[in-house]
């Protein structure tokens, strides 16, 4: 199987390494030239679980998708606001048989792909993994593949017409070391991951606090409670069964492994970059509108985030 990872930053490089270890012909594609050159020439250095082990994996890595050619599978891992432009600028990767799967943050990327490709060629999923780009060719990865009933990758397809290739993806990733499940319950896991992103990505960005710091602050705790309540209400309206207290308890448990972490949305804002808010808290607002459910807390986070993004050039600069 020939696999392209479109957007091979911290997460893309990590999932690419798993496809490679599982036996796929992997091509990483990313505009960060120094990162791609380092991996192609010297290999990707992966520091796993704070020094538990180190890996060095040399893969094909390029900045130009035209150098790759047609692939069997394209995994999209660019930021959500670049999904359309990234895929349309990488036409060399696709033919009538190519299967494209989004493993991006949030909700809404699969809808965008279905506007570009036939629905039977589109898959979507979620990653229970963490990865940080330390520098060109090096990532710090955190994941566990030894926890019962918890998988690293859950994914589904829009239709069942490409079941064979989905099962092959599942097999390759499992062989490569990530517990992976092709499941019709993927939507539930995606929305559970959305809780994490909605609670901390932009709230940490706006407050400039770590995940643990905002949770420990009484108003931050209350804010996250309200975020989760709106999310669960919307999910249930969509037919995705979620229990508020159970999901909150799961979020509290999940937080403990990343209390000192600044999530990707915060890192983007600190560096004056556009965030994925429209695919995170914005997804709750958008889906809430569809089902007539008010989501004032998530709406406010979206508005504040866009105000900050739109005024990076005039904001007060700290000494």
**pLDDT tens for residues 274-303?**
999 999 999 999 999 999 999 999 999 999
For residue 129, the model assigns a pLDDT of 87
* 75 within 8 A of 3, measured Cβ to Cβ: yes
For residue 319, the model assigns a pLDDT of 55
For residue 52, the model assigns a pLDDT of 84
Burial 89-98 (b: 16+ CB within 10 A, else e): ebeebbeeeb
What is the set of domains in the chain, with CATH numbers? 2-183 (3.40.50.720), 187-314 (1.10.1040.10)
Q: Which residue is listed with tokens 């960060």? A: 32
* 110 within 8 A of 135, measured Cβ to Cβ: no
The pTM of the full predicted model, rounded to 2 decimals, is: 0.90
Retrieve residue 268's tokens.
């983007």
Q: Which residues of the chain have pLDDT under 50?
A: none
For residue 151, the model assigns a pLDDT of 85
For residue 294, the model assigns a pLDDT of 97
Among candidate residues 121, 112, 124, the one with its CA nearest the CA of residue 86: 112
């Amino acid at each position: 199987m020939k696999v392209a990872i479109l957007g091979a930053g911290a997460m893309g490089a990590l999932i690419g390494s798993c496809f490679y270890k599982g036996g796929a012909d992997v091509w990483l594609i990313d505009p960060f030239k120094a990162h791609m050159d380092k991996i192609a020439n010297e290999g990707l250095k992966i520091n796993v679980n704070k020094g538990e082990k180190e890996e060095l994996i040399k893969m094909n890595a390029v900045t130009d998708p035209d150098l790759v050619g047609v692939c069997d599978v394209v995994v999209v891992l660019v930021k959500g606001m670049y999904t359309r432009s990234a895929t349309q600028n990488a036409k060399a990767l696709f033919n009538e048989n190519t299967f494209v799967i989004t493993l991006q943050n949030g909700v809404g990327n699969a809808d965008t792909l279905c506007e570009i490709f036939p629905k039977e060629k589109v898959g979507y999923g979620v990653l229970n993994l963490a990865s940080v780009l330390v520098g060109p060719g090096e990532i710090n990865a955190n994941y566990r593949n030894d926890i019962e009933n918890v998988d690293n990758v859950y994914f589904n397809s829009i239709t069942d017409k490409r079941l064979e290739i989905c099962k092959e993806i599942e097999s390759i990733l499992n062989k490569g070391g990530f517990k992976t499940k092709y499941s019709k319950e993927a939507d539930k896991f995606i929305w559970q991951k959305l809780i994490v992103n909605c609670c901390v990505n932009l709230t940490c960005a706006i407050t400039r606090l770590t995940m643990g710091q905002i949770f420990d602050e009484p108003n931050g705790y209350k804010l996250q409670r309200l975020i989760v309540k709106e999310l669960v209400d919307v999910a249930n309206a969509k037919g995705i069964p979620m229990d508020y207290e159970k999901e909150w308890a799961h979020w509290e448990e999940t937080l403990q492994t990343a209390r000192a972490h600044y999530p990707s949305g915060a890192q983007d804002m600190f560096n004056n970059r556009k965030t994925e808010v429209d695919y995170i808290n914005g997804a709750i607002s958008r889906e809430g509108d569809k089902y007539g459910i008010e989501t004032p807390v998530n709406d406010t986070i979206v508005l504040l985030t866009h105000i900050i993004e739109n005024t990076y050039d005039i904001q007060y600069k700290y000494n």
